[in-house]
C-alpha cells in the first residue's frame, strides 16, 4: 500500500486560500445550524446540581461554583464533563473521472471544498480529521488526524497536489476503501468523497467499513453527466480510459437515452449505498453544497470516538 507523507505547508498558498473561503461560507451560512448538536466539553455558567459535587482537597479552585456554594452553605465545585474527541477520516477520490467539470468547478475541486468544509465543522467541535487520498487504488496519500487549522490546511495542500497519472486507467475505489478500514482502527466516522462508480466490490468494501464506523458517502456530481445541451456533433473523452467518441448532441434520442442512463446510474448508486448502510450526501458542481452538507451532518450524530 503506497502512501505519501507530506510536510506541513508553509505560508498562505492556494490551499489556505481555499480553507479561508470555505470557513467564511460556513460561518455565514451555518452559524446556529450546527449549534447544540453535541454536549460541550466545558461546564456552563448555570448551577445544576447534577453537574456539581462537594469540594474535595486538591480540587482546582477555579471549579468552585460560588453562587451554589452561597445557596447551600457548603463549598461546591462544578466538574467539567469531558466528551471524548471524535477521530474522523476522509478518503478523497483523486481519480481521472474526478477531473471532469462543466460548471464553475471540476468534481475534484468540489471534493476539496467538501473536505475543507468537513474539516472546518469538525474543528469547530474540537474533533480531529485524518485525510487519505487515492488516485488509481489503494492509499496514495495519508495525513494523520489533526484538530488544528494549520494541519487541515496542510492536508488540503497535499491532497490538491496529488494528480492522476498520465496513463489512463480504471480506478479501483473499492481497494482504497478496504485499505481505509485498516488505517482507521478506532471507531468513529469515515467520509468517502467520490463520484462512486457502482460495483459489488465497492458495496462490500463500504459495508465492511460500516461495521465499525459511521460512513458518509459524499457523492460529487456534474450536471453535464445527466443532461447535455444541443451543441451539435462533439467529441467526448472517457476520463478513465482516455477513449474518445463522436456524439451528436442535437439528436433528441441521444439526450433522452443519456437522461435515462443517468437516472439508472443514480438509482444503482443509491441502492448500493443503502445496502452498505452509508449515509449519502449528494453535492453538485453547479449548486450550493454547504447546506446539503450541514443537513446531513445534523440529521445523525456521528457515533464512536477515539
Q: What is the DSSP string of 185-235?
A: -SSSEEEEEE-----HHHHHHHHHHHTTSEEEEEEEE-GGGT------EEE
Q: CA nearest 160: which of 287, 284, 290, 19?
A: 19
Q: What is the pLDDT of residue 231?
A: 84
Angle between helix 14-30 and helix 149-161 axes, rounded to 10 deg: 120
Q: What is the pLDDT of residue 226?
A: 85
Residue 139 corresponds to which cell in the numbers above?
492509499
Query: 3-state DSSP call for residue 265?
Result: helix
Q: What is the pLDDT of residue 136?
A: 80
Q: What is the pLDDT of residue 63?
A: 80
Alpha-carbon gap, residue 97 to 108, rounded angstroms: 9
Q: What is the pLDDT of residue 85?
A: 67
Q: What is the pLDDT of residue 93?
A: 94
The CA-atom distances, in angstroms, between 47 and each of 77, 90, 104, 240 are 10, 39, 51, 61
Q: Which residues contact 291 (CB under 8 A, 6 or more apart)?
A: 29, 30
As a CATH number, domain 14-32+84-299 is 3.40.50.410
Q: What is the pLDDT of residue 216?
A: 95
Count of Cβ atoms closer than 10 Å to residue 147 Cβ: 17
Q: Which residues contact 83 (CB under 8 A, 6 or more apart)?
A: 38, 39, 40, 41, 305
**According to CATH, where is 3.40.50.410 located in the chain?**
14-32+84-299
Q: Which residues contact 54 (CB under 8 A, 6 or more apart)?
A: 74, 75, 76, 77
Residue 154 corresponds to which cell in the numbers above?
496542510
Angle between helix 173-183 and helix 200-210 axes, rounded to 10 deg: 10
Alpha-carbon gap, residue 240 to 278, rounded angstroms: 25
Residue 290 corresponds to which cell in the numbers above?
454547504
Q: What parts of the chain have a pLDDT lower than 50? A: 1-11, 35-37, 39-50, 300-306
Enter the pTM of the model: 0.77
Strands 244-248 and 233-237 come out as antiparallel
Amino acid at each position: 500500500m503506497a502512501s505519501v507523507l507530506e510536510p506541513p505547508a508553509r505560508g498562505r498558498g492556494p490551499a489556505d486560500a481555499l480553507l479561508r473561503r470555505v470557513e467564511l461560507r460556513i460561518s455565514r451560512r451555518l452559524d446556529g445550524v450546527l449549534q447544540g448538536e453535541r454536549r460541550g466539553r466545558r461546564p456552563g455558567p448555570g448551577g445544576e446540581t447534577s453537574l456539581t459535587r462537594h469540594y474535595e482537597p486538591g480540587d482546582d479552585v477555579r471549579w468552585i461554583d460560588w453562587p451554589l456554594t452561597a445557596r447551600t452553605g457548603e463549598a461546591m465545585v462544578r466538574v467539567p464533563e469531558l466528551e471524548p474527541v471524535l477521530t474522523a477520516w476522509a478518503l478523497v477520490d483523486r481519480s481521472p473521472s474526478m477531473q471532469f467539470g462543466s460548471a464553475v468547478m471540476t468534481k475534484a475541486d468540489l471534493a476539496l471544498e467538501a473536505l475543507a468544509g468537513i474539516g472546518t465543522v469538525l474543528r469547530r467541535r474540537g474533533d480531529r480529521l485524518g485525510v487519505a487520498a487515492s488516485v488509481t487504488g489503494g492509499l496514495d496519500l495519508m495525513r494523520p488526524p489533526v484538530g488544528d487549522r494549520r494541519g487541515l490546511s496542510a492536508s488540503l495542500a497535499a491532497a490538491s497536489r496529488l494528480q492522476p497519472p498520465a496513463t489512463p486507467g480504471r480506478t479501483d475505489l473499492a481497494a482504497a476503501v478496504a485499505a481505509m478500514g485498516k488505517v482507521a482502527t478506532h471507531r468513529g466516522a469515515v467520509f468517502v468523497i467520490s463520484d462512486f462508480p457502482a460495483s459489488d466490490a465497492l458495496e462490500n468494501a463500504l459495508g465492511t467499513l460500516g461495521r465499525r464506523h459511521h460512513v458518509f458517502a459524499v457523492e460529487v456530481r456534474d450536471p453535464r453527466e445527466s443532461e447535455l445541451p444541443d451543441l451539435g456533433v462533439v467529441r467526448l473523452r472517457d476520463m478513465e480510459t482516455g477513449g474518445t467518441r463522436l456524439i451528436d448532441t442535437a439528436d433528441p434520442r441521444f439526450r433522452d437515452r443519456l437522461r435515462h442512463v443517468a437516472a439508472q446510474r443514480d438509482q444503482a448508486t443509491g441502492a448500493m449505498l443503502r445496502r452498505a448502510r452509508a449515509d449519502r450526501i449528494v453535492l453538485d458542481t453547479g449548486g450550493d453544497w454547504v447546506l446539503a452538507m450541514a443537513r446531513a451532518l445534523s440529521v445523525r450524530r456521528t457515533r464512536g470516538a477515539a
